[in-house]
Amino acid sequence: MAFWPCGKINASTPLDYTILPINETLGYIVQFLAPQLNQEKSLRAKDVALPIFWGLIVLLGVVGNLLVIIVILKGRQLRSTTNAFILNLSISDFLFIVCTVPFTLVIQLDQTWIFGDVWCKVMHYSTYVSCLLSIYTMVVMSIDRYLAIVYPLSSVRYRRVRYAGMVVGAMWPIMLVSMIPVLLSAKVEGTDACDLWYFVIPASKNCLLFNSDEFVIVFFAVAYALPLFAIVVMYALMLKRVWTRVGLGVMNDTSRNKSKRKVTRMIVVIVAVFGLCWLPLQVYLLAQMVDRTVGAQEWQRYILYTANALAYSNSSVNPLIYAFFSVQFRRSFMQVFPCCFRSRTNKVTPRPLARVPERHSGAENPDNSGTHVTDLDTEVFSCCSGKPTFQHNVIDFGEGTVAGGATRHSVLKRGSSLDTPV
């Protein structure tokens, strides 16, 4: 007597266990129950490690990208075309983490999809939309850097915040419309839980997308290979022009050129991190297309877990890159959240040069007088539990002794390190 598959039986329908041969019942015990018991010990480490790791990704990604979004929206000194694109990149990274990471964690722990068909479609759709928004925002940023470095004068009228907003506004509907096939094709497949005598065969459901070779190839080309190729070409042309100018002596070390190079380095690092983080997952998907048995073994699934984690962590490290490369971002963080950071604000007020009368003791040379500019470099230290305190430094441009008893050149002028928005 043949035994019917559990997936074809409604879980609410009672079974007549008297008609089941004992050997087939024992076969089901061996097939479903024994592997689960054998995997309990091996899954314990994963059940502890995965929530911790994914929790760190969610914490860094959500908090970091929210901070970047708030700082750019509130900081007037950050109003530039580059920061407009960084704002869009942070929004897409934030959506990617919120809409993808929690579901991925549940799938890896529970080995089944429990959120229904609607959320299956929403997860896949939001994942692909935010991923494409991120990579093509980087493409636009590379074009913006190319114009800023190669055509610094003629591109000024095009490199404005208003035009950057128009580009970003056009990217969203294009990505939303182009990913509608993903929304329509995503679905849940598998079997419900089945109550079989003295144990329950667990549900086995997967949130699937059309897994055709054509889709894997198109996704690899459109979402990874072609955009990265375009970015590499842009930066190669940019570096060629920079080296040519350096050889001709055209480029100098003005603060604006230094700022441009610093912003360019930051974007290069962002793109390089994106390429490295997503490469293992893309290679795994291509290998699975070539060999359908890839992913069947336990160690291969751990490779997939690692590749997924590395790809998704890319959305969490971008805010750390901004904070590391941009002094302006760090200062803006401090200004927007003064109760959580120690902030320093340099205010230079133009004042007319004035001769400051100096007091000398009998042993000092009375002719050591000079012209001094007394200006205040104010440092504000804010704290949640106390009032702001101020420290004033006197800037001395002349010779001799500054009023107040300090010796000459005891206080040096500190140059501003603010990044000029470009």
pLDDT band at 179 (very low <50, low <70, confident <90, very high): very high
Structure-token pair, residue 82: 């580059």
> Which residue would you say has higher pLDDT here, 210 or 104?
104
Find the distance separating the first CA and the last CA of the chain, reported in whole Å: 77
Confidence of residue 13 (pLDDT cuts 50, 70, 90): very low
Q: What's the distance, CA 80 to chain centroid? A: 19
The answer to whether residue 61 scores a pLDDT higher than 70 is yes
Residue 58 to residue 50: CA distance in whole angstroms:
12
Beta-carbon contacts of 151 under 8 Å, excluding residues fewer than 6 positions away, are none
The predicted-structure confidence for 318-334, as pLDDT tens digits, reads as follows 888 877 777 777 777 78
User: Is a pLDDT exceeding 90 seen at residue 170?
Assistant: yes
Please list, in sequence order, all residues whose beta carbon lies within 8 angstroms of the beta carbon of residue 386, skipping any fewer than 6 positions away.
Answer: none
Amino acid letter for position 397: F
Residue 110, C-beta contacts closer than 8 angstroms, at least 6 positions apart: none
Domain boundaries, the chain: 17-336, 343-358+366-422
| 300 pLDDT above the threshold of 90 | no
- pLDDT digit string, tens, across residues 109-155: 777 788 888 888 988 899 899 999 999 999 999 899 899 888 888 88
Q: Copy the structure tokens of residue 281.
A: 């997952």
| pLDDT over 70 (residue 293) | yes
User: Residue 168 — pLDDT band, cuts 50, 70, 90?
Assistant: very high
Mean pLDDT value of segment 416-421: 38
Give percent above pLDDT 70 in the chain: 61
- pLDDT for residue 185: 87
What architecture is domain 17-336?
Up-down Bundle (1.20)
How many whole angstroms separate alpha carbon 366 and alpha carbon 359?
A: 8
Two structure tokens written together for 176: 């939303």
Mean pLDDT of 252-270: 72
| 172 pLDDT more than 90 | yes
Q: CB within 8 A of 149, min separation 6: which ones?
A: 238, 241, 242, 260, 264
Please give the structure tokens belonging to residue 100.
């993808």
DSSP 330-394: HHHHHHH-TTTS------------EEPP----TTS-TT---EE---EEEEEEEETTEEEEEEEEE
What is the pTM (predicted TM-score) of this model? Answer: 0.67
- What average pLDDT score do residues 91-97 get? 92
Q: Which residues of 41-63 are buried (b: 16+ CB within 10 A; e: fewer)?
A: eeeeeeeeebeeebeebbebbbe
Three-state SS sequence of 384-403: CCEEEEEEEEECCCCCCCEC
pLDDT at 236 over 70: yes
Q: Are 328 and 421 in contact (CB under 8 A)?
A: yes
Tokens read off for 368: 């050591």
Q: Left (φ > 0), alpha (ψ -120 to 50) or beta: where does 249 sit?
A: left
